[in-house]
Structure 1
C-alpha cells in the first residue's frame, strides 16, 4: 500500500472538523473583539488631551466623542460576555484535539484499538462510542456544520495498512508535523513576547518623559494619561495572548515529542507499538491540557 503524501484535516473525522472550525471561528471573534474594545478605550482616553468647546452651551465635543467611545466599549464587552467566544474557543479546541487523538490511535492501531482478536465492526463502534463520550462532556457547545464522515476513508485505509506503513506515516505525519508546529509556535510566541515587552518599556519611558515635561512646561499637552491607558491595553492584550506561557509550553512539548519519537523508533513489535503510540498521544494531550488550564484559570 502506498502511503499518502500528507495527512490533512480533511482526513480527520467529522467531529474533529466540526469542532476545529467552531474553535477557529470563536478564536477570531474573541481576538478581534478584544482588540477592538481595547482600541476604543485608548481612543477614549486620547480625547482628553485637548478641549474643543462649541455652541452657546460651550459643550466639549471631544468629551462627547470620548463618552461615545466608552459606551461602544461597554457594548462590545457586553457582547463578548454574553456570547463567550473564549469559552467556545477553548471547549471546541478540547473536543477537536481529543477527536484527533482518537482518530490517530484508530488509524495506526494503538490502544484501545489494537486488539487483533476484536473484529473491525466492533472497533469502529468502540471509536464512535468514544466520540459520543467526548461530545457529551460539552453538551452546550455548538459545533460547525461540516459534511464529513465520522470515520474517514483515510482512517479506514490506514488501519488496514501493514505495520511498517502505519509506523512510517505516524512518525512523519503525526509526530514530526506536530513537532514542527510546536517549534514554529514556540519561536513565534517568544518573538512576539519580546516585541511587546520592548514596546511596554518604550511606552513607559515615553510616559515618564511626558509627565516630567508636563511638570515643568505649562504648554506641554497632557499625554501621560493616554500613554498610561495604552500601557494598560498592551498588558491586557498580553494577558489575552499569553505569549510567554505558550512559548514555554510549546518548547516543552517539542522535547516531550522528541522523546516519544525516539522510543517509537526503538519499537520492534506491534504490541510495543500500540503502547508507545498511546504514550506519544498522551504527551500531545498533556500540552493541550496545560494550555486549556492556563486559559480557564485556576
Structure 2
C-alpha cells in the first residue's frame, strides 16, 4: 500500500462513524459468546459421556447434577438469548454503515455534490439503518455514542481530488476487502479439511472398535458411547461453523473483487468513479446480506 504513504490520508476503523464501531463491536462480542456457549454445551455432553463410562453409577450425584446444570444453562442461553442473531444483524448493520460511509467519502451517488445538505442526508441514512435494526438489538452498548457521525478524516478524504480518491478507494477499500476474502477463504478451507479429518478419524475408530475382537486395544481404549458423542459434537460444530460453505463463498467474492480491482484503473471521470463506487459497494452489501440470510436459514 505504498500509494497511501504519499500525503494521502490513511483511514482506520476509528475514523468511521460511532454507529459502525458500536455495531461492529456488538457483532464481534455476540459471535464470541455464541460459540463459547456452544463449545460449553458440547464439552458438557462429552464430559458427561466420559464420566458415565469411567465411573458408571459410582460417581457422586452432584457431579452429574453440575454437568446437567451447565449443559442445560448453556443450551437455554443459546436458544433464548440468540447471540447468533445479534451477531448476524450486528455485522449486517456495521457493513451497511461502512458502505454508506465509503459512498459519502467518495462523493458517489446519492452524495455527489458540495451541498451541506448531503451531510445531513448521510446522517439520516445511517440513522435509518440503526432504526431498522433497533428491534434486533444489534447495538446494546453506549460506548461510541459520543463519537461523531462524520469524522475529520472522513471530511478530509471527501475534499480530495479524483485521482487521490481513486487511490484511496483502490488501496484502502478494494484491496483491503480482497485480502480479507482471500485470507478468509483459505482459512475456512483449511479448517473444513481439519474438522473433516477429525470427524472421519472418529468414525474410523468407531467402526474398528465395533468390529474388532474384545481383546484388541482399540476396543477397550474409547467406549462406543463416547465415540458416538464425539462424532455428534464434531458434526454439530461443523454445521454451526459452515467452514466449507463459507470458504466457497469467500473465494467467489474474492474473484469478483479482483475484477473490480482491475477495472478501477480505467476510470477517468467523476461520473465513472461514482457509478463504479455505487456498483462495488452494492456488491459488498449484497455479499453481507446474503451471508446473514444463509446464517439465519
- Tell whether the structures are fold-level matches, with TM greater than 0.5: yes
Q: Which residue of 1 aligns with 2:204?
A: 205
Question: Deviation at 1:67?
Answer: 4.6
Q: Which residue of 2 aligns with 1:41?
A: 45
In 1: Cα distance, 2:170 partner to 2:221 partner: 61
Q: Which residue of 1 aligns with 2:27?
A: 23
Question: Deviation at 1:202?
Answer: 0.5
Q: Write the mapping of 1:90-169 to structure 2, written as runs, cut at 5 A.
A: 90-114=88-112, 116=113, 119=115, 121-140=116-135, 141=137, 142-144=139-141, 145-146=143-144, 147-169=146-168
Q: 1:162 to 1:225 in 2, by over 3 A?
A: same
SS in structure 2 of the partner of residue 93 of structure 1: helix
Question: Deviation at 1:267?
Answer: 1.3
Structure 2: stretches of 5+ with no match in the other structure: 1-5
C-alpha distance after superposition, 1:170-226 (max 9, x if no partner): 000000011001100000000000000011111101111222237677993661110
- Asked if 1:286 corresponds to 2:286, the answer is yes
In 2: Cα distance, 1:52 partner to 1:216 partner: 21
In 1: Cα distance, 2:132 partner to 2:12 partner: 26
- Asked if 1:241 corresponds to 2:241, the answer is yes
In 1: Cα distance, 2:257 partner to 2:221 partner: 55
Structure 1: stretches of 5+ with no match in the other structure: 54-59
Report the TM-score, using the length of structure 2 for normalisation: 0.91
Mapped contact 1:192–1:243 kept (Cα < 8 A): yes
Report the TM-score, using the length of structure 1 for normalisation: 0.90
